[in-house]
Amino acid sequence: MASDSERKTKIQEIFEDEHRVAAEAEAALANPDLSAEEFREQFKLLTKKYKSLLKQAIKITSIGDSTQSKLIKTQQQLDQQYEELEKKNQTLNEKNDALVRAHEALLQSQQKAESIFSALTEALPGTVLDNKYRLDTKIGSGGYGAVFKSTHLTLNREVAIKVLQPKSGPVTPNDLERFRREGISACRITHPNAVAVSDFGISSTGIAYLVMELLYGRTITEELQEAGIMTPTRAAEILIPVCNALDEAHSAGIVHRDIKPDNIFLHQGPTGEIVKVLDFGLAKLMGNETQMNDMADLTRGVIVGTPTYLPPERLSNLPYDGRADIYSLGIVLYQMLTGKPPFILKKGNIGALVTAHLLQQPPPIRENRPEIPEELETFVLRTLAKIPSKRPTAKEFGEELGKYIPTKKKK
């Protein structure tokens, strides 16, 4: 029969083992690299260990049959709750997997449509739209259309015309009506830092187009390809005008929906560089209609926006407002400071990218750029908050960046 000292030693060992099991459980919960399946397997193993320790403790401490029965019953109840939790987790995982598959299918469909549209636009130079505009040279393209250097035939003036890419499937009267409303929205933005849209229409052959001012220069994407990264001052010089344009748009109830480096243009005008926000023709008026239109786009096979820059609320098909643009602009600022976005599409895995936007925190900026002020890094993380209400407004965004403009330049 074991002595009291031996029993105490054994009990102490069991308690220490219990602490180790608890520590392992905490580590598993805090490990972001564990998949759901790996977590379940580890949880089962830890549960098995804990049951074994519980039985040993009951035996050594000579707990009475009644108390032992209660403990076993409690454990059975915990097991039942765990099984129910497992079923709920499985259901949730299935729904998440279905959402990811849907996003992947939509992206593939969109990429195929873009490829076909790109080939078609090569044949458009020389085309005259509504006896008024001649498409001369293709100068750019993107997920929503192709841009042509064009001529206003009546005024003999150079303009830029964006021919919008049709959605997958036949064009419906609703599509044409929505494009008309989008054209009106684009014309409503008259800020000096937003590209000016002077006309829009649908030609007799069914080509939907926007007429814009012709710009000379390059996008942030092209500048980053050359520079790699930017200083806080250079980033502020570019993004403060963007914030001003977005502030006016949001005040008018308009969300841009596709803020990204390709849509921020550094126009070289007669007086120097002027920052221009492109593609306000794809903007939406805030309200219930915006949400319904987004859902319609998703069911038609179109992702409105660029996945690398889309905010969590839009990826989750939730209502959104101007702070959705702030998240996208925060991604752009992060990319300007580090040379790459915080979340990247790898090997076409749209599901992993969506999960990152929904759940993961961006890698710290100062890990690779310790010279970046800690205050600026904290602000960038605030713009990327998963909860929209925690993000700054466009006006607050610009005011914060103003701290990094030298006093002489402010004057």
Confirm whether 325 is a catalytic residue. no
58, with CB counted inside 10 A (0-12, 13-18, 19+), is middle
Give dist(CA 221, CA 165) in Å, integer.
22
Are 239 and 335 in contact by the 8 Å Cβ rule? The answer is no
1, with CB counted inside 10 A (0-12, 13-18, 19+), is exposed
| Amino acid (1-letter code) at residue 52 | S
> Which of 258, 262, 279, 294 is an active site residue?
258
Rg (CA), the chain: 29
Q: Which of 89, 79, 68, 164 is nearest to 124 (CA)?
A: 164
**What's 262's DSSP letter?**
G
Give dist(CA 392, CA 299) in Å, integer.
31
**What's 280's DSSP letter?**
G
Give dist(CA 290, CA 269) in Å, integer.
35
CA dihedral 366, 370, 372, 378 (to 10 degrees): 30
CA distances 86 to 26, 40, 48, 250, 338, Å, are 18, 8, 16, 43, 40
Helical (H) or strand (E) element with 209 = strand 208-212
Give dist(CA 243, CA 325) in Å, integer.
10
CB 49: neighbour CB atoms within 10 A?
A: 16
159, with CB counted inside 10 A (0-12, 13-18, 19+), is buried
Helical (H) or strand (E) element with 208 = strand 208-212
First to last CA, the chain: 90
Could you tell me whether strands 272-277 and 264-269 are parallel, antiparallel, or unpaired per DSSP bridges?
Answer: antiparallel
Enzyme catalytic residues = 258
